Amino acid sequence: MKINTFFYSIQQGFKNIARNSMFSLASMATMAACIFMFGIFYILVFNVNAMVQDAEESVAITVFFDEGLSEDEIKEIGKEIAKRTEVREMDFVSAEEAWESFKEVYFEGNEEYASGFSENPLANSANYAIYLKDVSKQTSLVTYLESIEGIRDVKQSQSVAETLTEFNKILSIVSGGIIAILLCVAVFLINNTITVGIAVRREEIAIMKLIGATDYLVRAPFIVEGIIIGLIGAAAPLVLLYVLYDKVVLYVAEKFAFVGSLLEFVSPHTLFQGLVPIGLLLGVGIGFLGSIWTIRKHLKV
């Protein structure tokens, strides 16, 4: 593409926006509203996913071993379990550690009562707390653990695992549906704006074709117009969302400290380093695809 053609297309794209300022502003505003709604939903989903992930990481499978099994034998079994792909982390709790923890909880302030036990009453309580990479894989790991010789009991949080897995599925379906609706609305608006621009410049386009203008030269300004509308319509709400999110997180932390202790919000930097490129690409992509579709439908050159 020649450099002068490139700059001509950009110039004409801006002129098209100026000629149809009302429609262009309406498209930008609606695009901004769509990206703003998408951004809010993205922020909610991202924070909920982070919270669900934290909850998943706290879900553990506890494995208890047969009586009389030595600590060395237990650790050998632990090495085999650690090789499983479902396992993220394992914590070993010896019988002595289990007894010390029990005393701290149930004899708090009266530890001398525990001296009445001549032997460790939890001598067979050595266990592994196993944390998963993906809580939905809990059933397969439990089935494997129950087949190992030397393991007498496997305790799992089945209801918690199923709830988190189902919640993730529902969240994915809902987010996909909302994003699809927003895309359709934005493309429809871009289509209307470009269509008006083509109608206004129909005579000019005919003259350009008569004097030998290529199809690309005729179409390019409308593509540029769609991209500019998409870019501006996406950039403005992203800036607004960043400012609002930062203020809301600070406000909640200051005014509702108990909420902050229960829910940990994702930092603005972590959140927006993903949202900004996605939002801008979404805006530019909608503008480009919307203009291409409109040109093919209404501009026969």
What's the pLDDT score for residue 241?
92
Domains of the chain: 3-55+173-298 (no CATH), 60-156 (3.30.70.3040)
- Could you give the residue ranges of the DSSP H alpha helices within 115-214? 138-146, 158-200, 202-210
pLDDT digits 0-9 by tens, 171-210: 777 777 777 777 777 677 667 766 766 666 667 667 767 7
The closest alpha carbon to 204, from 301, 104, 90, belongs to 301
Residue 202 or 257, more confident? 202
Using the structure block, give the residue that is written with the tokens 């002068």: 4
Query: Is the pLDDT reported for residue 114 higher than 80?
Result: no
Encoding tokens for residue 218? 């005729």
What percent of the chain is modeled with pLDDT above 90? 4
Question: Could you tell me the CA-to-CA distances from 141 to 30, 133, 137, 146, 265 in Å, in that order?
Answer: 49, 11, 7, 9, 31
Pairing outcome for strands 60-65 and 87-93: unpaired
Q: Is 141 exposed, middle or buried (0-12, 13-18, 19+ CB in 10 A)?
A: buried
Phi, psi of 132 (to 5 degrees): -100, 155
What whole-number distance in Å separates Cα of residue 183 and Cα of residue 35? 9
Question: Could you tell me the CA-to-CA distances from 133 to 57, 84, 168 in Å, in that order?
Answer: 8, 11, 15
Q: Hey, which residues does 90 pair with through a beta bridge?
A: 130
Query: Is the pLDDT reported for residue 91 higher than 80?
Result: yes
Coil, strand or helix at 20: coil
What's the pLDDT score for residue 55?
67
Q: Are 16 and 199 in contact (CB under 8 A)?
A: no
> pTM (2 decimals)?
0.62
